Structure 1
Amino acid sequence: MRCKLVKGVLLTLLAAALLGCGAEKKMAAPHEKVPKAEAAAAAAAIVKVPAYELEYANIVDGVYDFLANGNSKRLPQQGTTGIYELRDHFNADEAVKHLGYTLLDINNDKVPELIFAFNNNEIRGKGYYGKELYAVYTFVDGQVKFVDEGWARSSLELQPDGTLLTRGNISNAEYVLAVHDLLKDGSTRCLRMYFTKAQEGAGGLEVYRSSDGRAFADGSERMQMTADEFFEMGNELSSYSTEVELLPLHEYKQSGSKFKGLAMPYLHIMGVHELQDPQADLSGYEQVSVPDPFKGADVLFRTNAELQDFQLLDLQGAANKNDGRVLYSKDRLQAGAKLYLHLSSFETIPKNGIAFKDDAGRLRKFAICVSGRDGSIYLHEID
């Protein structure tokens, strides 16, 4: 769906990637008198907004201004290749429909990253989701830092464990497949990297595994792997990439929080078997059990923000899975609340789910599912 930029620019950008894996204040007009109580409340609200949100909002402003109005002066210096492609391919109205953004903490440092991704405009429940990432930014030492970007010839996706998957090429012989993670200092670390080179005299492709995060045959390990196996490995990794929840840019707000309405960044759910520490203290978790759980499956649930009208649902007993019977409810779950859920065992069709209101006041419902790849637990939004 995406168009290509000038070929020379793309080749230069991807060649560089192959070499290393590596507040908005609403001010009153001068003549306008603002009651002291309102002014104090506004000031308090501004103080409570995290610094990263204010800085990220400036980037969202700039990207919106570019796609909607063609003004590139406020765009960030890095991370815009895919956004330029999007603007070249669509008119302004379509461009802002196909770009979404989100806040998601992918390196577990308690500060979310700002992510732009392709939005296919298909609503699931009340949320939008996308898999093709255009740009990732993080916030370190009071400043926004560019992390990575994706475009037509170098896709970028998020893996379930928070790592970033890159697949790209600069010619019919040079392809790269790399997985890297984001460190807490804002740098990236190459975890594994494979690449191809033309096979001399045979017309085929040789596959290498990099030892230092660079796509140089010298110093890299020649793999006993065919080109087809290389591409199959990339396709398999991509099949497990995570869809991120997005706020569509065409619903962009000129005032107020530009990140209101996101639900997924404020939850964390996992199976007990995923705990790294076998001596983990679960005494702080409230125990919640479904009636007569079949075989049983234990799940830990933790909130990163306050949730209103939280419910645990039985999806299997309802004629319509979206009208599940309420098994447990709480008017308010405080930020940092911990629940130890004893559920029915996981099968192809989810048996249990949760519901709550997001910060925009919309009721959101999610089925609790298990990955067929590694048994990890994830949430899938339902109507």
Structure 2
Amino acid sequence: MKRNHLFAIIVSLILLMTAGAQATAAEQSPDGLAAYRDVLNRYHRLITADPQYAEAGEGDTGVLEAFSYIEPADAPARFGYAIMDISRDNVPELLIGIIEKTEDGVSWGSEILAAYTLVDGQPKLSFEGWARNRHHYIGKGSFYVSGSSGADQSVFGEYMISPDGTELICIDFCFTDQQGANLGQLSIDPAASKWVKVEPKERAVSEDEFEELEKQLAARVQLMQLTPFAAYTSSAFTVLARWAKDALVDYTNYDEFTADESDARVRVLLSSDSPLADFKVLSITALDADEGGTLRFDSQVLHAQDSLNPDRPLVLNMTFFGDLPSYAISYTDENGTAQTFALTLSGKDGSLQLTPIE
């Protein structure tokens, strides 16, 4: 079978932004978690609800397709998200991906099903992936994209997120039996810090070379840390529980409270995207269960503060003593309703979870 490798260098875009322009973009962009709250809430509903009743929206194709091999009960631990600035314009992107492994309670994945950026502070879909259009992260804002449009037609290439994060730009593209297709390669001129336009050039490669090119690109795939949707609470004012050793790099100031002195205690970072009133850390003890098997708990306040603020999270030193939770958090939501969540570990992968309790 003839393999074609088409080269082109297209488009002229200035990549080098001034420090002032970057600062302005950062000032105009809301906090990442808060800005993407509606998108995350939608994915949380999609992932935690019965998929047969779900309606596909923009960017949902890959998630819905993945339910063909992911059991609904496992979905909250198998899908995750990351908020990071892969376009390096000081505006964070939201990435929705599949969790491939979890070690020491930290989840990792490389396949991205959807990506969003912020335009005028509002989420905008940048790209989405599915089985025949897979996107794997290879670092520095670039992706290994592979797929097919039939048994004898396969494609792969390297794509880079555009400087504004709104789309993927082709860097290199290989395909089979698609003579005349308007596909190509973009290259960066580091000296000029811009995209340079030239005429496309096409060349044929052997099957061995075709496979070697794809092998080299696939070898660059790297894992990124993903927060499982099992750890996400889709309240308008949400607390996020993460391992402090991984998440503290995002903060310069924080409070700390030690709930017990056990040698097995761990450090959990509790953060929120909006101020939460009347925030408390509770010691809880299971009393009994109702007819439906729901546990009832007695609680004692261990730590209280007027609010938990986005720029000052709380590090909780605590121990997971057994299968039943020993600690919980509570706060007052925007409607004046007290919300209480137990701190638990996933029985599947040991990831942190916040479980609603009464």
1:361 counterpart residue number: 315
1:187 offset after TM fit, Å? 3.0
1:264 offset after TM fit, Å? 9.6
CA contact (8 A) 1:79 1:149 kept: yes
d(CA) in 1 for partners of 2:182, 2:118: 34
Partner AA of 2:251 in structure 1: A
- Which of 239, 242, 252 lines up with 1:306 in the alignment? 252
1:54 offset after TM fit, Å? 2.4
Aligned counterparts, 1:183-262, within 5 A: 183-188=162-167, 190-198=169-177, 210=184, 221-255=201-235, 256-257=237-238, 260-261=241-242
Partner AA of 2:215 in structure 1: N
- Which of 134, 137, 148 lines up with 1:169 in the alignment? 148
Distance 1:212-1:103 versus aligned 2 partners, 3 A rule: closer
2:72 counterpart residue number: 92
Whichever structure has more strand as a proportion of its residues is: 2
d(CA) in 1 for partners of 2:164, 2:53: 28
CA contact (8 A) 1:195 1:208 kept: no
TM-score, reference length from structure 2: 0.52
- Which of 26, 29, 34 lines up with 1:54 in the alignment? 34
TM-score, reference length from structure 1: 0.49
d(CA) in 2 for partners of 1:229, 1:208: 22
d(CA) in 1 for partners of 2:143, 2:124: 16
- Which of 45, 67, 84 lines up with 1:65 in the alignment? 45
Which one scores higher on RCO, CA 8 angstroms, separation ≥ 6?
Answer: 2
CA contact (8 A) 1:207 1:224 kept: no
Deviations 1:6-61 (A, max 9, x none): xxxxxxxxxxxxxxx99xxxxxxxxxxxxxxxxxxxxxxxxxx9354224121121
Task: Report the aligned-residue RMSD.
Answer: 3.9
Whichever structure has more helix as a proportion of its residues is: 1
1:101 offset after TM fit, Å? 0.8
CA contact (8 A) 2:161 2:169 kept: no
d(CA) in 1 for partners of 2:240, 2:163: 23
1:290 counterpart residue number: none
Partner AA of 1:113 in structure 2: E
d(CA) in 1 for partners of 2:212, 2:65: 27
CA contact (8 A) 2:156 2:175 kept: no
1:224 offset after TM fit, Å? 4.1
Deviations 1:266-314 (A, max 9, x none): 79xxxxxxxxxxxxxxxxxxxxxxxxxxxxxxxxxxx6532779xxxxx
**Count of aligned pairs between the two proteins:** 223
d(CA) in 2 for partners of 1:252, 1:57: 11
Distance 1:51-1:77 versus aligned 2 partners, 3 A rule: farther
Aligned counterparts, 1:262-341, within 5 A: 305-306=251-252
d(CA) in 1 for partners of 2:117, 2:208: 35
d(CA) in 1 for partners of 2:232, 2:73: 12
Distance 1:208-1:238 versus aligned 2 partners, 3 A rule: farther
Unaligned runs of 5+ in 2: 1-9, 12-28, 188-198, 256-311, 318-358
Distance 1:171-1:74 versus aligned 2 partners, 3 A rule: closer
- Match status 1:144 vs 2:117: no
Unaligned runs of 5+ in 1: 1-20, 23-48, 201-205, 214-218, 268-302, 310-357, 364-383
What percentage of residue pairs aligned between the two structures are identical?
Answer: 22
